[in-house]
Amino acid sequence: MTGIKKYIIGNWKSNNGIEATNNWLKEFADVSDLKILQSLNGWEIIICPPFISLMNVYEYIQKTGLPIKIGAQDISPYGDGAYTGEVSTGMLKGITDYVLIGHSERRKYFHEDDKMLALKCQKALENDIIPVYCVPDENTIFPDGVNIVAYEPIWAIGTGKSETPENADKIAFKIKTKRPGINVIYGGSVNADNIKSMISEENIDGVLPGKSSLEPAAFWEMILNASSN
Ligand code: PGA
Closest C-alpha to ligand 1, atom 2: 210
Closest C-alpha to ligand 1, atom 1: 210
Q: How far apart are CA 142 and CA 133, in angstroms?
A: 7
99 C-beta closer than 6 A to ligand 1: no
Q: How far apart are CA 214 and CA 221, in angstroms?
A: 12
Residue 208 CA: nearest ligand 1 atom is 9
State the distance from the centre of ligand 1 to the C-alpha of 127, rounded, in angstroms. 26
Provide long-range contacts, Cβ within 8 A and 24+ apart, for 172-177: 172/201, 172/203, 172/204, 172/205, 173/202, 173/203, 174/138, 175/135, 175/138, 175/149, 175/151, 176/203
77 C-beta closer than 6 A to ligand 1: no
Report the pLDDT value the prediction gives residue 1, as an integer from 0 to 100: 43
Q: Which of 190, 189, 183, 57 is nearest to 131 (CA)?
A: 183
121 C-beta closer than 6 A to ligand 1: no
pLDDT in tens, 115-139: 999 999 999 999 999 999 999 999 9
Residue 11 CA: nearest ligand 1 atom is 9
Residue 211 CA: nearest ligand 1 atom is 4
pLDDT in tens, 34-62: 999 999 989 999 999 999 999 999 999 99
194 C-beta closer than 6 A to ligand 1: no
187 C-beta closer than 6 A to ligand 1: yes
Q: Which residues of the chain have pLDDT under 50?
A: 1
Report the pLDDT value the prediction gives residue 76, as an integer from 0 to 100: 97
**pTM for this model (two decimals):** 0.96
Other residues' Cβ atoms within 10 Å of the Cβ of residue 123 = 22
Q: Are 187 and 157 in contact (CB under 8 A)?
A: yes
State the distance from the centre of ligand 1 to the C-alpha of 196, rounded, in angstroms. 16
Please list the active-site residues: 103, 152
State the distance from the centre of ligand 1 to the C-alpha of 65, rounded, in angstroms. 27
Distances (CA, A) of 206 to 83, 119, 121, 197, 221: 34, 25, 20, 11, 15
Q: What is the CA radius of gyration of the chain?
A: 16
What sections of the chain are H helices per DSSP?
Answer: 18-31, 34-38, 51-64, 89-92, 104-109, 114-126, 165-178, 195-199, 216-227
